Chain A
Amino acid sequence: MSTRRAGRLRRTARATALAAVLATTVVVVPDAEVASEDSALVAMRHARGLDVGDRVVWILAAGSDARPGQVMTRTRGDALQLIGIDPRTGAAAAIGIPRDSYVPIPGYGSSRVNAAMVFGGPELQGRTVGNLVGVQPDYVFVTRFPFFEDMVDDIGGITVSNPRRFSDPDLKPRGFAQGRVRLDGYGAMAFARIRKTLAGGDFARSANQQRVLRGIQARVASQAGTPGFMERGVMSVLQHLRTGEGPATLFRLAQLVARVDPSRITTCVVPGTIGTVGGASIVRPDVATARRLGNAARADATLPPGC
């Protein structure tokens, strides 16, 4: 009996509380029909278009470690990223090539992939990477690290997402914290260049380079509407990159980069095993996987998940 009474009391209490909440809601929440028109949240629809062709544009980005006085287009590079962008969808893919990958270089036997730049400049570098992945780049952009720093500074710095803390006694003694990290030009260079202290070595460095590329794209996209930003960015590229392309082409490509959808960026690093040739440490790339990545991204600049 007392149990039944207690249950009735609880139900009554719940009903009273519910009534109170509803009454409060009626008072606090304004009638929808008389809602103020002074403010409104409206999803803005954009019409967007860009004429840069109807297929994926492939760009090989090469970062040279040329010292002052050296020609950067005839010096081995530390960074090699094959980037595809689909202008129809805004998808983008980056395939990282470990610097020490031991591959055939057309006309020069086999050597580390970055030796192609020394043997035959950007054109041969592009062909060598293209043969490894099975996708030939449309453009090869070469820069050296000081120029890269200037470019990142010119766009106002970038933000990267760093999965784990790391440092380097020479380049960055204080290291990079885990999480979102704001980088200026020097920081971006160090983030992309540090290798020896990374557990994954060359492969982990290549992945970090891709994080920097994501940061650059995000910065460009966020600032594209700022008056003169795209023009200044292209001017910076003209001053700091060896591309062989004219300003108008670079201006169009810059618009393409700005239109990339961050949610549709996929990245992979070509895997491989560590070995030695002639006593020198090299990476034997998994060519089958490299081709599989190239085939996957060839048509739509989208890499398979989990690579």
Chain B
Amino acid sequence: MPHQEPLGAPRTRRTPPLRGARSTRSDRRLLAPSLGPLLALVLVAGCTGEDGSGSPDGGPGARGEDAGRRAASVPTVVVPGQRVGRLAPQRHRQVAQRVAAVVDGWWDAAFVEADYPRTRYQGSFPGFTRTAAQQGWQQRDLMTSARLGSRIDALVPLRRRVAVDVLSTREVPRGATARVRMDFRTTGEVERRIRLEGRLVLTYLRGGWRVFGFDVTQSPLRPTPGQQSADRSGNQSGKRSGGER
């Protein structure tokens, strides 16, 4: 199941707003002929590590370059979550989109929009208050890809989902909780499928939504039954070749 939104919940998709030159560069890197051996490794990993059954961006036949391109631009599914207090549903959706844009900004800066291998993580917390950004920096092994960044060649998002609960009074949104989940896979020395999930809490400050708190985990992404069988019949050693240290 690629998505698990509650039944009846309205759902919109948005493409991360910060996609630009870096994303394109990243795609070009994946395809660059000069990186032949690396490309082969990426493609092999794509075939053995992904069976497509759980990915919204391609069926079982989606593989290799096309799959890589689509995965890199996987849109964020935005779900207006709980609405507490007076707020029109349309306004709730607007708030959800804006909050999701802040989450996307963090994900892109800390995980997606970068050239790997990577060791620099300054500026990974746009949209965070200064103190929250400092706290995120101190825990960058979980709040960014820093734990693996120097040992991977690419980080490809598989799913991005943000559900936004909003507190409002008098039709004015006052606070929000973003329940976030991003699945991604890495290629290179460390080939992993990882789920990042948790909560960000935000208030509206100085003309924008700002993250003032977070509770986030990263954990190995449990493969679906279909993926398990594919893994067993495929190249298991490839998946285990670069275990997390």
Are A46's CB and B198's CB within 8 A?
Answer: yes
Which A residues are within 8 Å of any B CB, using their own CB?
Answer: 42, 44-52, 54, 225, 227-228, 230-232, 234-235, 238, 246-248, 251-252, 255, 259
Q: For chain B, what secondary structure do more than half of its interface residues adopt (helix, strand, loop), or is it mixed?
A: strand
| In the complex, chain A residues whose CB is within 8 Å of the CB of B139 | 47-49
| In the complex, chain A residues whose CB is within 8 Å of the CB of B208 | none
Are B143's CB and A47's CB within 8 A?
Answer: yes
Are A227's CB and B129's CB within 8 A?
Answer: no
| In the complex, chain B residues whose CB is within 8 Å of the CB of A246 | 174
Could you name 25 residue pairs across A and B whose Cβ atoms are closer than 8 Å? A44-B217, A45-B217, A46-B216, A47-B136, A48-B135, A48-B214, A49-B136, A49-B213, A50-B201, A51-B129, A51-B131, A51-B213, A227-B165, A227-B177, A230-B177, A230-B201, A231-B84, A232-B82, A234-B84, A235-B84, A238-B169, A247-B167, A247-B175, A251-B201, A255-B201
Flag whether B163 is at the interface (Cβ < 8 A).
yes
Question: In whole angstroms, what is the CA distance A259 to B129 when docked?
Answer: 18
CB distance from B118 to the nearest CB of A (A): 18
Are B203's CB and A49's CB within 8 A?
Answer: no
Asked whether A227 and B179 contact (CB < 8 A) given A248-B204, A255-B213, the answer is yes
Which B residues are within 8 Å of any A CB, using their own CB?
Answer: 81-85, 129-132, 135-136, 139, 141-143, 163, 165-167, 169, 174-175, 177, 179, 198-199, 201, 203-204, 212-219
| In the complex, chain A residues whose CB is within 8 Å of the CB of B175 | 231, 234, 247-248, 251-252
Question: In whole angstroms, what is the CA distance A289 to B234 when docked?
Answer: 71
Q: Which residue of B lies closest to A37 (CB)?
A: B228
Specify which of A46, A51, A54 is in contact with B142 (CB 8 Å cutoff). Answer: A46
| In the complex, chain A residues whose CB is within 8 Å of the CB of B82 | 227-228, 231-232
| In the complex, chain A residues whose CB is within 8 Å of the CB of B83 | 228
Are B167's CB and A251's CB within 8 A?
Answer: yes
Are B214's CB and A235's CB within 8 A?
Answer: no
Are B142's CB and A232's CB within 8 A?
Answer: no
Are B203's CB and A248's CB within 8 A?
Answer: yes
> Which residue, of A47, A230, A246, A248, has the highest number of chain B Cβ atoms within 10 A?
A47
CB distance from A149 to the nearest CB of B (A): 20
> What 8 additional pairs, Cβ within 8 angstroms, besides A45-B142, A50-B135, A247-B167?
A47-B143, A48-B215, A49-B213, A227-B165, A230-B177, A231-B82, A247-B169, A251-B174
The 3 A-B residue pairs with the shortest CB-CB distance, nearest first, are: A228-B82, A49-B135, A251-B175
Are B216's CB and A51's CB within 8 A?
Answer: no
Question: In whole angstroms, what is the CA distance A252 to B167 when docked?
Answer: 12
CB distance from B192 to the nearest CB of A (A): 14
Question: In whole angstroms, what is the CA distance A225 to B142 when docked?
Answer: 19
Q: Which residue of A lies closest to B170 (CB)?
A: A247
Question: In whole angstroms, what is the CA distance A46 to B212 when docked?
Answer: 16
| In the complex, chain B residues whose CB is within 8 Å of the CB of A251 | 167, 174-175, 201, 203
Q: Which residue of A lies closest to B139 (CB)?
A: A47
Question: In whole angstroms, what is the CA distance A228 to B163 when docked?
Answer: 11
Asked whether A252 and B169 contact (CB < 8 A) given A51-B132, A231-B82, the answer is no
CB distance from B147 to the nearest CB of A (A): 10
Question: In whole angstroms, what is the CA distance A230 to B130 when docked?
Answer: 23
| In the complex, chain A residues whose CB is within 8 Å of the CB of B199 | 225
| In the complex, chain B residues whose CB is within 8 Å of the CB of A47 | 136, 139, 141-143, 198, 214-217
Are B212's CB and A234's CB within 8 A?
Answer: no
Question: In whole angstroms, what is the CA distance A232 to B168 when docked?
Answer: 10
| In the complex, chain B residues whose CB is within 8 Å of the CB of A45 | 142, 217-218
Q: Which residue of A lies closest to B216 (CB)?
A: A47
Are B166's CB and A231's CB within 8 A?
Answer: yes
CB distance from A88 to the nearest CB of B (A): 10
